[in-house]
Structure 1
Amino acid sequence: MLTRLSLRQKLLVIPVLGFLVTGIVILMMLTLLKRQHQLTQNVVEHDLSAIHHYTSLLSDFSKNHLSVHDLLSRYRNDLNAEDLVALGAARIEIIRQVQQGLDNQFDIHRQYSDKSSQEAVLILKESLEHYIQAVESALQQSDNRLRYQETLQSANQLFAETHKHFVGLLEIMGQSSEEETEVQLAVFEQHILLVSLIVFVIMTFLVVFSLRQSGRLSRQLHQMIYAMNQLASGNLRFRRSRDHYDSEELEQLSEAIDCFHSTLNSLEKTQARVEEQNLRLKEEVLHKEHAESELTHALDALQIANDELEHRVKERTSALAKMNDELLLEIEQRSRAEQQLQLFKMAIYNTSEAVIITDADARILEVNPAYCQITGYSRAEVLGKNPNITRSERHSEKFYRNMWGCLANKGQWSGEIWDRRKSGEVFPKWLTINAVNDPERNSTWYVGVFMDISDMKQAEQQLEQLAYYDALTQLPNRILFQDRLEQEVKTCASENGRFGVLYIDLDRFKYVNDTLGHSVGDQLLVEVARRIKLCLRQPDTVARISGDEFTAIIRSVHELNDMEVVAAKIIEQVEQPVIIGSREVYVGASIGISLYPDHGNSSETLKKHADMAMYKAKELGRGRYQIFDYTMSALNVDRMALTGKLKQAITQNEFVLHFQPIVEIESHSIAAVEALIRWQPSEGEMIYPGNFIEHAEETGLIHEIGNQVLLSACEQGAQWNRQLTHPVTIAVNLSAIQFENPELADYIRDVLDTTGLPPELLNVEITETTVMKHPEQTEKLLREISDMGVGISIDDFGAGYSSLSYLMRFTANKLKIDKAFTQQLTDRRSDQIIPTAIINLGRSLNLQTVAEGVETRFQLDMLYDKGCDYAQGYLFSKPVDAETIWPMLQAHTLLEDVRGMHI
């Protein structure tokens, strides 16, 4: 479009566009200001009007309650029963008017109020109705002194509750109005920023456009001047750039230059063509003279060749007549031989055993139908091929050398050999080969006859399988493993060799078997056995010796590191999720390692020491391997004793809960308490979780212990919240092992239903390790828990490694700052970086932050300045039993020595 404009018109484009942009910007600013004015007017007319009306209703309600209370208090002193009922009815009528006013205001402002305001009004209306009923009941019970006093007290309590709901409604509406105003201001600021950005972009575009247009015009004029100078100097071979010109004047000038250039080029080319035609005529004359001479020589050579061809035809005719006589004799001889051959073929073709005939060069000459039926190859596919096309590669070259040596010496060989069918199936056969010599021709043929013995071998294998292999996993069983282990000990003892033994125990398999059933457990064992086998070499042996225990023999070990590499690979493979049906199942592996002869010179000693090392691996945290050392014998005894004591503690309910308050920094009130487990044996001192939780996780007992803790904490929380006037949340820690139970969410739902604790008053705490170990399964469980209304906190945040992509996917409500960062807070900026970053991260993700381990007022002040929401630590209270923390919950504030501090 711009190319059609003249130069004069193009110079006017920029000023016109500038005026248009200025007008548009002014119009957009006026529109934004008008819209902002309307939004502000709506807030004043609707939100503030509603707050004013509800405040008026609260005032009327409070006045009438005082009148009712005064009237009821004067009863039996200044008033009789009839006067009390009459005056009370009048007061109730006034309160009914307040109720009617509340309904009217709700209908008027329903369309402008949000969901939380509507729910608050409905709760207020219900509470007001209860209050009116209580007052009416008090009037009706005036003749019964005891019932009258109880009803009067109930009415006072309902007034306090209704008054609280009125105040709560006003706070919600005020907060809603404030949030709406802030949103409107933010939107207005964004619009102003957007308009400014648009103006800047358009003005930048106009400046760039002006510079570009002027540059293009100057460049095009310089190109035309250059072209004219070249033409004037007689240079017709220069190349002009074919730019698109921005105006009709320049385009016309360019076309005139091109036309002139083209005309000069045409004249030059015409002259060149005339000179080229003259030269071509001269060359054609010379060429014709040369061709006539060559044609004469070619005719002479053709005559000589014709004479030679006639002589050769006569000789060839005589030879063909002689060959025809010899061919007739050979045909007669072959006819007699074919009759004999047909008899032999009928016998071979009708036998049930396979027959194969080869020459001395091992080329197949013939096979019978039984051969084709057994091998799967057709006759056409094998003729002329080597018999080794069915070789299975199960036999060594030495085996075949011995076979052919026997044929060469004795002329016959028979034995068992394994071949491969066309389908790829390997099968056993009993083969007999005979050498057939032909002295006249000085040649040898080989005739092989074999039968398929697959059925016989299969029967043998089934007997061996039942005796020496595990029926479920098809791995060697304990008997075969013991035999191979003893053989390996003897071999290494005689050859001064080394080998290793692995003792593998699956982590958390018992829990999977108990919760998901034995069918799932069996499928899991089959898959785990397959993965372990893939981690080993062909000469190595892996066996299943009991339910979830496997052993392996690693041959030809040069260094201890070789065993560690294999063990680490097995652990990595076993920990990968197993898909069974529609669910993912997770288990792990703990592995013990013993080495011959370093850790024993007998099979039993090596197994026992590998078993001890495996238990040490479980004690150190499971999911790892451990090499045997001789200090493990005593440790294994201690570990087994602790397991027995934990089982006894579960059955005798020796686990108790202590509670530590979590304080809201802004209001210095107790918002929640964290339930912490303690072990109180019937005889002895209290044991803290650091001394037994890890072992409980290794042995799988953590599931039963965790279930007891969750049930006890919810029962205590439900009891407290029934007695308190303000809600208190109960925080419970869940182990990473518990999150491997896919039924965890269902169990939490059952506990809440049983105890009656509202879901919003339960908060489960999980560590970063739990979140990152199996993120897909953890995300699914957390979503199910969150959908119930239960809160979720990420505990000890910052002490491990977290992926922000996973953190944003999980439905967490709080981040708990690890106490290691809280307790290192000083006035140095470097000590404040990590806590500040976690608080800012929580604010960005809309998560509240809780600082653990707060012990000084300086730490609390620093956290408050950084914007932390909650604090927990010895500054407020150490973990105490339920009886000790109850007065703190009733007071709903910090301890006395902290209450007056500046926060």
Structure 2
Amino acid sequence: MLGLYEQIFGSGDRRMARWLRLLLFMLAYLLLALGAMLLSRVDVAVVPPWLAGPMAIGALVRLSPRDWGIPLLGIALADMLAHYICHAPHGIPQYTIINTIEILAGALWLRWRHGGALGMASVSSFVSVLLVSVLVIPLIGSLLLALTQLWEVSGSLHLWWGRYVSGALGMLVMLPVALNSSIRRWRTLLSQGALTKFNAMLALTMLANAVIILFFPDEIVWSIVALLLGALLFDFFRSTLLNVVSVISLVVLIYLFQQWEMLHFSLFHYISIALTVLPALLLGMALQSFRREQAQLLQSEQRWKSALEGSGQGVWEIDLVRHQIRASLETRRLLGESELAVCSMTHWREQTHPDDVAYVEKALEAHVTGQVPLYVAEYRVRQKDGSYRWYQSRGKVMQFDERGRPLQMIGTLIDIHAARQAEFEREQLARDLQEEKERLQVTLNSIGDGVIATDMGGHVVFMNPVAEEITGWTLSRARTCALAEVFPLHGPDMTPQSLELIETCLSRNDVCMSGDDSVLINRHQETREVKATAAPVRALGGRTMGAILVFQDLSRSRELQRRLTFTASHDALTGLYNRHFFEQEVDNAISHGGETPAILVVLNLDHFRVINDSAGHLAGDALLIEIARLIEQHLGSRDVLARLGGDEFALLLHDRDIETSAVWVETVIEAIGALRFSWAGRIHEVSVSAGLIPVDSDAGTFSTLISRVNVACYASRQYGRNRVTIYHPGQEDIEQYHRDIFMAAGLREAIDNDRFVLFCQRIVPLQGEGRDYLEILVRMLGREGEIVAPGAFIPVAERYGIMAAVDRWVIEHALVHDGERLKQVLDGCSLSINLSANSLNDAGFLPWLLETMSVSPLSPQALIFEITETALMNQLALACDVIDALREAGCRVALDDFGSGLSSFSYLRNFVVDIIKIDGGFIRHVNDNALDQVIVDAINQIAHRLGALTVAEFIEDDASAQRLVRMGIDYAQGYYLHRPMPLERLWLE
């Protein structure tokens, strides 16, 4: 049954479903009409209820009147078919028309008066529907039937009355079902199956009706019991459906028993049937109204509860007698105590913040005692995690005893933690804003920038103290004055800029800045260099209120910047360009080489150190300034003069060739030579040496040019000073000096990059006594790793004062870095290290050497330090101090290259040495040169008399070695005996 229902009413095709419903409706009408007609046709004593009409009315009122056409046509067709089947063809048109008019009248009245099915909403409307439907609507059909049968005298009253009773009984029974019927209700009913309480009630009702008709035919009214029971047990739809089934079963039973002639029924029995249905209908309607009101009340309560929960409000009750608090679920949820529905006032006090308990109790007492009409309190309650949240309680006493004492209090609780936090944040924000305002005021009064605020018209409304100081205006005097008057800003051409700056800022609604070269002429007619920035001031909603002008007095900073710029490119002493600026000028000339001739000139003062040392640094500075002014007098418009440092000047001459430049430089040299520099009553002669070189695109870099021109300047000094030399590649002396300069640069680079390596050479005893010892030698490594011979770099190192650094490198690596390994391989032998004149001339060298020896694994007794005769000649006093200190420390001292000077023997009077190394010039030809033999023999004898050992250098053959043995020389050194080798080979071998 349910499957058929789903196919008819659950079809996805709505149009098809409508036609199926129409056919079903017509079929139902046909069956109900046939049933009534067949029963009345068989026995006129039987008055079956006309159920088809009320069913049709109930269906029509659910539709809009404009949609009634097709259903009415279907009703007419079904009605005619029913009459045709019952063999009443002569009465088909009139009965069908009467029935259709009756149905149409009932549907129209219900639609107009009660809104169709909605007219069953209350008991009063239901009674109204029953009265009109039962009494009036059937009367319309009966009257129409009576009018059609006026010419038939016999039986007309009986037919009219029977027609009316049948229609009234049908309306009473069927119309409530039809009006309360719906697809949803039928679907629910059909889906419950056969074994339900309602189906059992249907069976019980039909059984009870059979018993009543059979045994108590005059007590039909007792069938009301089952109907009343159904009204109590079921909803209105099922109870009215039960009424229909009960009435149909009674009519069928009456029909059957009359056919069997068991009983005889009159028309008044049908009135009894109506009386059984009416109370059940009224009771069912009353119960439905009651249930609806209860549901509405429950729904209203649910809505109220949902509204409270949705609004975040909980409900609480206080029993003022028992001192208990009952909380709703929402209240417990808000408080975080979902398990505790009832609690004591003591528990509430424990959960409330200690600072809030007294305040809440006072507010509660004020309301309970009638001092205030409503209890309102805001307090904090402890949460499970130990934190506190803010809540607001509002309540009122709702119940009093007979003496007026309060018994019960009801109220609400809401969580106001977020609101209190927001309020606290607003208060904090207000305090912060006030503090920020004060800080801003202090900041504006203390910052170094001037600040002026204007309105939309460009009138001053605020100035900070810095702005007052810069402009010369006070705020009280400047207020409401035009900005152009208070802040007269001008461009480089003295065009006013103040008003234009503000107007541009306001029109663009953006930040605007003045030019870098803007000046302000203040109230005191002082000119200030300023940098101003204007920005719009906007209200909270974005409306522009005016402009703010921030400006800085850049007069001092720009003056300082000009000084720094000048200092960055000029020499602090002479005011000439410095080396950095001059290098840029030369690089620029190189890059444009060939376009215009340019000559690089370097001037060095001769004997400047003498003047500087004898007359003092102030005299030297004064001389440099005077020389600078003198050279400036001879400069051309495009020439560049710079001081490179010390007593060195450089010039970049333009628009001259090399010969003309040389002549010009000679003129400058003559002018300087004619200068008589006077200082402290003494006259000092001044001369200069100069070098020239052309600048072109092939010149390379500034470093290359300056190196070459310095070579030319050096050549001028070598040639006698006070002259000029033009650099020409290939000149032997210039090239040699150039090579020496590059070698000096290479030496410094080698020291920085640790590009040296230690060698050693054995010194062998000749008399069969003593042990070999080693002399430490040094070799330089070129950029490609090649070995540079000592003859190539040691003279340059001594000439340019670099040899002391080389000595330190050798000593540190020999004594410290390789000291432990040398100690192992020497095995009691001595180690000899050379000291240069540069090291002896260094006051800090001896302390450093003694400290280095103190951390070396080698003992001082194993060390021999060699000092050349040349070093003694130049630094005799210092050499004596060094020799004494070294011998006192336990070291031995050797005098190297002895005999190379004319006064070699005289040095032996001044200090004591342990070893004398005879110069190799006497040893190289000692075997065949009698004079060399005499000199070597004399040196050997004197050395032995002084207690010193002798060493012969440069032994190159066996004959020389044998001669020296016979002469009594103690030690020999040379390639014949041992060639120098890398120090590392000692421990590798």
Larger Rg over CA atoms: 2
With structure 2 as the length reference, what TM-score do the two structures score? 0.30
With structure 1 as the length reference, what TM-score do the two structures score? 0.33
More helix by share: 1
Structure possessing the higher relative contact order (Cα contacts under 8 Å, 6 or more residues apart):
1
